[in-house]
Amino acid sequence: MVSRRNFLAAAGAAAALTAGGKALGACGGADGLRAVACAGGRRFGAAASTPVLGREPALADLYARECSALTPEWELKWAQIQKTPGQFHFAAIDRLAAFARRHDMILRGHTLLWHLDMPDWLIADLGRDTWARLIERHIHAVCGRYRQDFFCWDVVNEAVQTEDGRSDGLRDSPWLRAAGPAYVETAFLLAAEAAPGVRLVYNDFGLAGSSQWVRGRQTAVLRLLERLRGRDVPVHALGMQAHLRVGDEYDQRVMADFLREVEAMGVRPVISELDVTTDRVEGAAAKDAAAARLARHVLDVVLGETACDTVVTWGLADPQSWIRRRRPEARPLPFDDNLRPKPLYEAIRAALAAAPPLPA
Ligand code: XIL
C-alpha 322 – ligand 1 centre gap (Å): 7
More confident residue, 1 or 197: 197
Strand partners, 341: 335
Q: How far apart are CA 343 and CA 286, in angstroms?
A: 10
C-alpha 204 – ligand 1 centre gap (Å): 12
Nearest CA to ligand 1 atom 3: 322
Residue 148 has what pLDDT?
76
- Summarised one tens digit per residue, pLDDT across range 122-144 is 999 999 999 999 999 999 999 99
C-alpha 73 – ligand 1 centre gap (Å): 6
* pLDDT over 90 at 146, yes or no: no
Ligand 1 pocket test, candidate residues 115, 273, 324, most atoms within 8 A of CB: 273
Q: What's the average model confidence in pLDDT over 326-355?
A: 98
* pLDDT over 70 at 311, yes or no: yes
Could you give the 3-state DSSP secondary structure of residue 47? strand
Could you give the 3-state DSSP secondary structure of residue 112? strand
Residue 248 has what pLDDT?
98
24 falls in which pLDDT band (50, 70, 90)? Answer: low
- Summarised one tens digit per residue, pLDDT across range 28-75 is 767 899 999 999 999 999 999 999 999 999 999 999 999 999 999 999
- H-helix or E-strand spanning residue 46: strand 43-48
Residue 294 has what pLDDT?
99
What type of residue sits at position 241?
Q
27 falls in which pLDDT band (50, 70, 90)? Answer: confident
Q: How far apart are CA 42 and CA 358, in angstroms?
A: 7
Q: Are 122 and 134 in contact (CB under 8 A)?
A: yes
* pLDDT over 60 at 227, yes or no: yes
* pLDDT over 70 at 20, yes or no: no
* pLDDT over 70 at 152, yes or no: yes
Residue 9 has what pLDDT?
42
